[in-house]
Amino acid sequence: MLFNSYIFVLLFLPSCLAGYFALNHFRFERGASYFLLGMSLWFYAYFNIKYLPIILFSICFNFFFHRLLCHTRRFSVRKTALCAAVLFNLGLLFYFKYYDFFFSNVNLAFGSSFVLKHLVLPLGISFFTFQQISLVIDTYWGETAEYGFLDYALFVSYFPQLIAGPIVTHQELIPQFQDPEKRKLNWDNFSRGLYLFALGMGKKVILADTFGNAVNWGFNNIGSLDTINGGLIMLSYTFQIYFDFSGYCDMASGIAKMMNIDLPLNFKSPYRAFTITEFWERWHITLTRFFTRYVYIPLGGSRGSALRTYRNIILVFLVSGLWHGANWTFVIWGGLHGVFVVITRHFHQFFEKLHPALNWLLTFVFVNITWIFFRANSIRQALLFGYQMALLNFSSIKDQILNCFALPELRLILEALHINFGNFYNRFCLLIFFLAALWLAVGGKNAVERTDGFRPSLSRSAVTVFLLTWCIFSFSGISAFLYFNF
């Protein structure tokens, strides 16, 4: 079920909130938890009922090993249980996400004929798998309490963060489910959450999907691109993935906040970053945290020689790239980021002497260029895209690109203000979108900053109503969040 859909906004979310708080109000706390679990599983199964047994089996299997590790003190048994749980989770992820990728490459390399399964990727499997790996490892390290099945199942399946994160830890979420004060309707939290939800939906529906239309046309017509139009498509994807992921994070946090649940910060204006290291401290923060804690540090982190540290950094980024998708384009994308992190780390004195504006520009341009590999369907397509841009052919902006930004809603707003741009309307819309996107991503306050010290006001109410109304009327062209694919 998509956050940006009629069934979610008009049926699922109101029913979930009303049922959850009503049951808690009449002191059916356990019933409220079961209700929230049921709603979360419905939310997940709505995409495809065949996904449901997978997540249920994963929850039951990992819960068994969580309890086993809580009750067993023998080192050999604990070690075996930990290895079995981690191998099961990675095996499940490999089977559904990487089976075809692995064996297609084996067939290509050795001329073998393994049959590919063409499996449909279960939504959110990368997220709920990593979430459970972290809990099992923490249980092995003795850093968790012994949780009941209901709390554990809610921790894994809680619908705001189920499909695209953040990757929460047990201590961040389960104690909040157990806190009686958080089960009471809090109008301040509810209004703040609704405002955050509206901001996130505006980012997704109005900005990300509009840029996405241009991106789809561009990558389907690479041969028609030149330097100008290729640059616009590249920058469009930079903004599409930014507002798509940022919008999801805001909406997820907003929904949770309506229920008095605080999700960890997962997105913090990454395009403001002055270095690539800072970029990864701001983009998908909980994924970076996971790889740092469970991959980078066990590899040795930065405790050894500089060469070993650089190796560990690049390995983590290669794994991060592969986590995002079963395609060599993601591996190259991750590897390029790892190499650039190593370069900036090794030559840190050189970069520190540069003007901050130049550091920001280098980082932003690098991120833009590497997003081409992230978006492309193949390495060949990514290289062709870069080749078309590198030819230094300049022409006017394609009408197909301009038309993507000429929203009828903007025309109605301009007409209401008695503003008429005539033949320049499409170009004006494109300019407005790019300037607004740049300002929101780099110069303006992000959603977290806008809700810091939040107090309901008439202006915020108007913004909430305006954004929700615009978005709901735009649902006929809904699209899934990009991170649903990972």
Amino acid identity for residue 354 in this structure? L
Distance between CA atoms of residues 3 and 245, nearest Å? 13
Place of tokens 């499997």: 125
Distance between CA atoms of residues 80 and 345, nearest Å? 38
What are the C-alpha distances in Å from 276 to residues 6, 16, 319, 359? 38, 40, 17, 9
**Among 238, 166, 229, 251, CA closest to 208:** 238
Those residues whose C-beta lies under 8 Å from the C-beta of residue 379, and which sit 6 or more positions away, are 328, 329, 332, 373
Omega within 30 of 0 (cis) for the link into 456: no
Biggest CA–CA distance in the chain, Å, is 78
List 66, 170, 324, 337, catalytic entry: 324
Q: Is the distance from CB of 1 to CB of 47 less than 8 angstroms?
A: yes
Distance of CA 179 to the CA centre of its chain: 28
The question of whether 418 is a catalytic residue gets the answer: no
Place of tokens 């100008």: 228
Those residues whose C-beta lies under 8 Å from the C-beta of residue 437, and which sit 6 or more positions away, are 207, 211, 239, 242, 243
DSSP-derived 3-state class of residue 283: strand
Distance between CA atoms of residues 61 and 43, nearest Å? 21
Q: Which long-range contacts (CB under 8 A, 24 or more apart) does 338-341 make?
A: 338/313, 338/314, 339/314, 340/276, 340/366, 341/276, 341/277, 341/280, 341/313, 341/317
Q: What is the CA radius of gyration of the chain?
A: 24
What are the C-alpha distances in Å from 420 to residues 402, 404, 423? 17, 19, 9
Q: Is the distance from CB of 256 to CB of 193 less than 8 angstroms?
A: yes
Q: What is the dihedral of CA 414, 212, 167, 14, to 10 degrees?
A: 50
- How open is the CA angle 136-138-141, to the nearest 5 degrees? 115
**Among 214, 226, 223, 222, CA closest to 389:** 226
Those residues whose C-beta lies under 8 Å from the C-beta of residue 189, and which sit 6 or more positions away, are 257, 258, 260
Residues marked as catalytic: 324
